[in-house]
Amino acid sequence: MPKIPEAFNSITPIKDSEHFMVSAFIDHRLDGVIRVISIIKRNNLQPLYCVYCNTVHDCKTVQADVQIHSDHFGFPFHVSDVIYEGKDMENATHVLISTKDSDNNNTEYLPIKNRVSTNTFKFDFTICISSLFGKYNNVLQFAQTMEMYKLLGVQHVVIYNTSCGPDLEKLLKHYETEGVLEIVSWPIDKFLNPSPGWNFQQHKGDIHYYGQLVTLNECIYRHMYQSRYVLLNDIDEIIMPYKHTNLLSLMEDLQSAHPSVNVFIFESHLFPTTQFEDSGKFKRAEWNNIPGVNIMEHIYREPDRKYVFNPAKMIVNPRKVKQTSVHSSLKYNGDTYHVNFDVSRMVHVREPMQGNLTKDQLFVDKRVWDFEQKLIQNVDQALKLSGLLQCEKF
C-alpha cells in the first residue's frame, strides 16, 4: 500500500524533475478523469506519467496530458493541469506524478478530492484570497473586509498563507477558530523564488505573484462541490452590491436574468488611502493602536479611465470553470457577463493610481457606511476575540 504523507503538504516536488504537484481531483465533467493542479517548468517538460491506486485494485500507470495555462506572462514556472484518462479511475483514492512509466519507489502520493459530485452546497459564497506574503499586517482593513463580507452573506473564506505579520497572525487564528476562515499553508518561497509582480520582464522571479494563478485554480476545484459561487479577489477588495442588501439577492437577480452566465465580472474602483473623509467620525479611539487602513475613512473614489485596463474581479460558478486567470476565466462553459457599475462594483481601498487628483475631482461613495452600526460592532468583537483589543475599553 502506498502511503499518503501524514502532514499533507500543499506543494510536493515531482521526483527526478523540476516540477511540483499541488492537488488532485476527479473531474466529473470530463468523464471522471484525474486532474492534478501542478506547477510545471515550461522549458523543461518531459513526458509525465501518473500512478493511481485505490484500496482494492493494484496501482496503474498511464501517460499524462499536460496543459500549461496560457497566461504565464513569461515566467519559467506556471500553473498546469496534468490530466489522466484511464480505466477504473472513478474509485481511485490517491495519485502521484512520475517521470517514469514503470513503478518506482516513490511514496509521495496526493489524496484525490472531489470523488463525489453533488448539487447541494455547504456554502453559497466562498472567497478565495490568493496569497498572503511578506510581513503583511494590515489588520484593521482585513477585519473590516471580513466583517463586511460576512454581513453580505459570505460564509467561507480561504486564504493561502506564505507568511504574515504578528498581529494579523492573531486575527487569522481567531477567524479560523470561528470557522469562517480556512488557512491553506502555501510555502511557495521554500521551493521557488516567487515574483512579487505579475510580469516576468519587469519583476523577474520564477513564478507569477507568489503563485497566485496556482492558488486561484486550486481554490476553484477545492470548492467545486462545497460552494455555489466562488469569489476570486484580494483582501483589500470588496465586491459590493449597490442595489441589493446582500450577495445572495444580487446573484439571484443576475443569474435569473442571465441563466447561461457562469462568470460574472465586477469592475474595480479605487478608493485612495491618501484621501480622508472630513468629519473624522470613524476615527475611533479603540482602533488607534490597530495597525492598518480604516476603510470607513476612505469614501473618495477615483474616476474610471476608459483607456486604462480595469483590473476587474470575478464571481464564478466553480462547476463550470476549467481554468481561470485573475481578471477573466480562460476555459469555462457558458457565458461571461460584465455586471453594471450601478448594480455592483468592487470597492478597492489602497494607495492611489491617480495620485494628483484633488477631492473635488473624486466621487463621494459612502456605500460602506450603510453597514456602519453592525460593521463597527462586529469588527470590535473580532479584534477583542483576537486579543488585539482590551476588553475594558468597551
Ligand X SMILES: *[C@@H]1O[C@H](CO)[C@@H](O)[C@H](O)[C@H]1NC(C)=O
State the Cα–Cα distance between residues 271 and 301, nearest whole angstrom. Answer: 5
Least distance between ligand X and beta carbon 172 (Å): 4
Q: In the structure grid, which three cell numbers stand for residue 344, read together?
A: 455592483
Question: How many CB atoms are closer than 10 A to CB 1?
Answer: 7
Among 84-92, 201-209, 227-235, 331-339, which window interacts with ligand X (CB under 6 A)? 84-92
**Closer residue to ligand X, CB minimum distance, 168 or 314:** 168
Least distance between ligand X and beta carbon 279 (Å): 27
325 forms part of the interface with ligand X (CB under 6 A): no
Whether the Cβ atoms of residue 145 and residue 175 lie closer than 8 Å to each other: no
Whether the Cβ atoms of residue 214 and residue 208 lie closer than 8 Å to each other: no
| Among candidate residues 388, 370, 373, the one with its CA nearest the CA of residue 288 | 388
With cell 505579475, the residue in question is: 198
Q: Pick from 16, 90, 351, 372 the residue near ligand X by CB under 6 A.
A: 90
Least distance between ligand X and beta carbon 131 (Å): 11
Tally the C-alpha atoms within 13 A of residue 249's C-alpha that lie toward its C-beta.
Answer: 10
User: 150-179: which residues touch ligand X (CB under 6 A)?
Assistant: 161, 163-164, 169, 172-173
59 forms part of the interface with ligand X (CB under 6 A): no
- By CB atoms closer than 10 A (0-12, 13-18, 19+), residue 368 is buried
**Residues facing residue 312 across a β-bridge:** none
**Closer residue to ligand X, CB minimum distance, 71 or 234:** 234
Amino acid identity of residue 259, one-letter, is: P
User: 262-281: which residues touch ligand X (CB under 6 A)?
Assistant: none
**Closer residue to ligand X, CB minimum distance, 164 or 214:** 164
Least distance between ligand X and beta carbon 192 (Å): 15
Among 66-74, 88-96, 232-240, 333-341, which window interacts with ligand X (CB under 6 A)? 88-96
Least distance between ligand X and beta carbon 376 (Å): 25
183 forms part of the interface with ligand X (CB under 6 A): yes
**Could you give the 3-state DSSP secondary structure of residue 373?**
helix
The residues binding ligand X (CB under 6 A) are 88, 90-91, 104-105, 161, 163-164, 169, 172-173, 183, 187, 355-356
